[in-house]
């Protein structure tokens, strides 16, 4: 379970404080969409939730533990095991195959290569891109690439999936496919998963169970 308490963030070189002691509980099994005008810190909130940025004040709690001030190695471990990321432009390794890209977080989480590949194949098949597993990212479409990114975010069966403008570069048909995949991800696996999507696209809100407006 993911929540924030009295959260405020400020960039090291910035003066503006974001979130203003924000508290929120992200309900497992639901898709929470974070919206707001440009510059309000939608992506920044995702990176704070993803333990890549440290808040100025307040805490990020994951499964009852304050993880916002954990040492870097611990935060990396949590990211690898419990948090999946989907970036706006998929950010796949152009030199590796789709399957290699999907299993990357599992390898950082200490999985054996074989087990990670098995899980990767399963997810790619579920997302309808299994036939592209041996292709390079340059050989698939933007929509397929983003579905691959969703597979990557789910490969370790994380408790939390964070998606930063996942449909920003997609047409509506492809965006719908990716959002359906993320909605399904909320209920996929052994436990109900928390899915948080940062977006300014009103179309995405149609897929939201909860909306957090900044």
Partner 1 sequence: MRLPNLLREAANTAWATKVPSALIVLLVAVMCAATLATVGRTAAAEAQLYERLDSAGARVLTVTEPSHDSYELINAATIGQTGALSSTERALGTITAIDVVNGEIGEGGERVPAWGIYGNLENVVTMEEGRWPQPGEALVSAEAMDRLNLDAPVGWVEQATSNPMEDWAIVGTFSPRDPFGDYTAGIVYPVSPDQPAATTLHVVLHDANHAGPAQSAVLQLLDPPATDHLTVQSPMSMAQLQDELTGDFTTFGRTLLLGVLAGGAFLVAIVVLADVLVRRKDLGRRRALGASRGVIVGLVLLRTMVPALLGAGAGVAGGLAMARSFEAQPPWEFTAGTAVLAVLAACVFAVIPAIYAATRDPVAVLRTP
Per CB under 8 A, residues contacting partner 1 are 43, 47, 50, 52-53, 72-73, 76-77, 79-81, 83, 85, 87, 91, 93, 95-96, 100, 104-105, 107-113, 152
The least distance separating partner 1 from the CB of residue 41, rounded to whole angstroms, comes to 12
Report the alpha-carbon distance of residue 17 to residue 39 in Å, rounded: 11
Nearer to partner 1, 30 or 96 (CB): 96
Nearer to partner 1, 103 or 186 (CB): 103
Tell me how far CA of residue 56 lies from CA of 15, 32, 60, 71, 72, in angstroms. 12, 23, 11, 16, 16
CA-based Rg of the chain, rounded to a whole angstrom?
A: 17
- Compare residues 86 and 208 and give the one whose CB is closer to partner 1: 86
Integer Cα distance of 119 and 166 in angstroms: 22
Least CB distance to partner 1 at residue 140 (A): 17
Query: Toward partner 1, which CB reaches closer, 118 or 206?
Result: 118
Token pair recorded at residue 122: 């399963």
* In the complex, minimum distance from the CB of residue 79 to partner 1, in angstroms, rounded to a whole number: 4
Q: How far is the CB of 178 from partner 1 (least distance, A)?
A: 18
Q: What angle do CA 32, 137, 181 make, to 5 degrees?
A: 25
What is the 8-class DSSP label of residue 139?
G
């Amino acid at each position: 379970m993911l929540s924030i308490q009295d959260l405020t963030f400020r960039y090291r070189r910035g003066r503006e404080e974001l979130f203003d002691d924000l508290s929120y509980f992200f309900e497992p099994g639901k898709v929470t969409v974070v919206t707001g005008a440009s510059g309000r810190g939608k992506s920044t909130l995702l990176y704070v939730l993803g333990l890549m940025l440290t808040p100025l004040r307040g805490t990020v709690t994951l499964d009852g533990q304050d993880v916002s001030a954990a040492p870097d190695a611990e935060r990396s471990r949590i990211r690898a095991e419990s948090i999946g990321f989907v970036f706006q432009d998929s950010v796949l390794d152009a030199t590796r195959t789709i399957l290699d890209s999907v299993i990357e977080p599992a390898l950082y989480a200490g999985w054996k290569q074989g087990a990670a590949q098995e899980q990767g194949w399963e997810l790619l098949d579920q997302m309808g891109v299994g036939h592209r597993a041996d292709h390079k990212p340059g050989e698939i479409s933007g929509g397929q690439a983003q579905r691959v990114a969703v597979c990557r975010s789910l490969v370790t069966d994380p408790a939390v999936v964070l998606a930063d403008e996942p449909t920003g570069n997609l047409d509506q048909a492809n965006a719908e496919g990716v959002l359906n995949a993320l909605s399904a991800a909320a209920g996929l696996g052994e436990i109900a998963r928390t899915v948080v999507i940062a977006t300014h696209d009103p179309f995405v809100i149609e897929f939201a169970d909860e909306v957090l407006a900044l």
